[in-house]
Amino acid sequence: MSNDASVSLRERVKAPPAKALVEAYYAPAVANSIKFVFVPEMRIHLAHALMLAETGIVKRHDIATILPVLLDLEAKGAGVLSIDYSQEDLYSYIERHIVKVLGPDVGGRLHTARSRNDLNVTSWRLALRDRLLLALEDLNALRAVVLQLATKHAATVMPGYTHSQHAQPISLGYYLLSAGDVLARDFRRLSGALLHADLSPLGAGALTTTGFPIDREGVARQLGFAGLVESAYDAVSSRDDVHETAAALAILMTGLSRVATDLQAWTTAEYGFIELADAYSSVSSIMPQKKNPQALEYTKAAAGHVTGALTAVLAASKNTSYSDVNDGVSAINVPVLEAVDKTRATLAVIQGVLETMIVKPERMAKAAADGYGTATELADVIVRETGLSFRMAHNIVGRVVREAIEAGKTAPEITTTDLDTAAQALFGKSLGIARETVQRALDPAANLKSRTVTGGPAATEIARMLGARRTVLAADAAHVAAVQSRIDTALAGMRDAVRTFKA
């Protein structure tokens, strides 16, 4: 009999797993575990081994024998494991490897005082935490670029749109400031997901902890967790850390997709506001003139994939019992980690698009002037200059705009005579507003200067808001760095404890 034969996890059943089940579930599950959680799981084994020794649950001599085997396996990687798909998860093969090297007596002691339930959920939380930190760093890098561009283009006048129609003049900087504010809220949402993922379930056992005197808090500290998922039942049954992450990612990607939709429209000949760099564009195999916004189309498709991940994780969990179950607790791990990776890739693509795109201010300014977006300010001028109600002024300007369009005029061609004619026809009175006043009202740049109310597009107000945003971004970046430093310090401490461990 081989050393590992007596520690098979399938002693409760006689038959091996069905070929169909292996192909559909076991093989993919093991492959995904190797891809995503081999490294986190090895960290857990080291921390758990140290705890077993420190608490006296397992003799120090045995732990001193186990630790080198763990370190050797970690260094060599999962490729040395003997995987035959008779078991459903990575840990089974790791334990088999340890037992094969050390025998079932010593090798079989590592799993004392824990279950695969708390082990698996902890390893996937570690993988999620690591990826969330990277995603938050990527998100902050994009936010920095957006704020830089918003500063550069605070006075780059362009049309503002509602319902895809010219609404009021804005600046490109004002648009980007708004997009940056959404990204700042995305940061807070993802930070909330990190906060809840950064809690250790280890020590929960199958669902009721264990009769052994384990030190849950000590292991959590060694793994760099901020704290515990205290209730053991909660620790192995709840995966709202995954649900929350998937939701935050879907919201983030939806916002990026909306911006990408605008940018794609602005690259067309009909708009001509921007041009994508060649590095973020593709070409046609048949039409020589084509320069396609490949990066933006990728972004919109990727948003669909991430939204699909949210649907997948919620649907997999929603009709499961509140307990440890594969469909509600385990099946959701891969979709959310793939969603984080997809989001990170998209953040990098959008950052590159923004950093390299060519902005065409003259085309933007002309569109803002010609598109009747200054009509609101013209109505406001009538109110201020004549004392008419806004509704009356709205009627007058609406009539003037309609007649100007019918006559083929652009907004700058509207005159005081046009206003007087409309006012006389509607209300039996002329307005007598000075020509210079009308011209100033029809000037998009002057429109922006007048919008000094809190949150408006005036350059001074944009400067104030951007200053505040830069302060917030700096604090957010420091927060991510602090969390990463805490984790790095904890893991370094654990490594040092392993290195210096003596029987």
Residues 84 and 156 in one domain: no
90-107 vs 116-152: helix crossing angle, rounded to 10: 130
Query: Sign (positive/negative) of CA torsion 145, 149, 154, 160?
Result: negative
Determine phi and psi for 161, rounding to 5 degrees. Answer: -120, 145
Considering the candidates 163, 164, 285, 321, report the single residue annotated as catalytic: 163
Q: What is the mean pLDDT of residues 336-348?
A: 98
Integer Cα distance of 483 and 480 in angstroms: 5
Integer Cα distance of 30 and 82 in angstroms: 12
Asked whether residue 313 is assigned to any structural domain, the reply reads: yes
The domain of 244 spans 117-211+226-362+472-478
**Can 284 be counted among the known catalytic residues?**
yes
Read off the pLDDT of residues 38-66 as tens digits, 9 standing for 90 and up.
999 999 999 999 999 999 999 999 999 99
Does residue 4 register a pLDDT over 70?
Answer: no
Q: What is the DSSP letter of 7?
A: G
pLDDT grade for 7, boundaries at 50, 70 and 90: low
pLDDT grade for 12, boundaries at 50, 70 and 90: confident
Using DSSP bridges, classify how beta strands 157-162 and 165-171 pair: parallel, antiparallel or unpaired.
antiparallel
**Can 163 be counted among the known catalytic residues?**
yes
Determine phi and psi for 30, rounding to 5 degrees. Answer: -65, -45
Give me the pLDDT at residue 87, please.
87
Determine phi and psi for 166, rounding to 5 degrees. Answer: -55, 130
Residues 154 and 293 in one domain: yes
Structure tokens at 221: 């500290």
Determine phi and psi for 173, rounding to 5 degrees. Answer: -60, -35
The CATH code of the domain that includes 90 is 1.10.275.10
Residues 82 and 165 in one domain: no
Contact 494, 222 (CB under 8 A): yes
Side chain identity at 257, as an amino acid letter?
A: S
Give me the pLDDT at residue 5, please.
46
Nearest Cα neighbor of 412 from 359, 368, 472 is 368
Give me the pLDDT at residue 3, please.
46
Considering the candidates 164, 237, 282, 284, report the single residue annotated as catalytic: 284
Query: Sign (positive/negative) of CA torsion 438, 440, 446, 450?
Result: negative
Residues 74 and 18 in one domain: yes
Residues 18 and 160 in one domain: no
Read off the pLDDT of residues 373-406 as tens digits, 9 standing for 90 and up.
999 999 999 999 999 999 999 999 999 999 999 9
Does residue 2 register a pLDDT over 50?
Answer: no
Asked whether residue 490 is assigned to any structural domain, the reply reads: no
Give me the pLDDT at residue 333, please.
98
pLDDT grade for 14, boundaries at 50, 70 and 90: confident
DSSP 309-344: HHHHHHHHHHTS-SS--IIIIITTHHHHHHHHHHHH
Asked whether residue 302 is assigned to any structural domain, the reply reads: yes
Integer Cα distance of 324 and 277 in angstroms: 50
Integer Cα distance of 244 and 229 in angstroms: 16
CA-to-CA dists, residue 95 to 30, 38, 39, 446, angstroms = 14, 13, 15, 73
Residues 308 and 425 in one domain: no
Give me the pLDDT at residue 1, please.
36
Residues 157 and 42 in one domain: no
Read off the pLDDT of residues 262-307 as tens digits, 9 standing for 90 and up.
999 999 999 999 999 999 999 999 999 999 999 999 999 999 999 9
Total number of domains in the chain? 3
pLDDT grade for 156, boundaries at 50, 70 and 90: very high
Give me the pLDDT at residue 436, please.
96
Give me the pLDDT at residue 8, please.
64
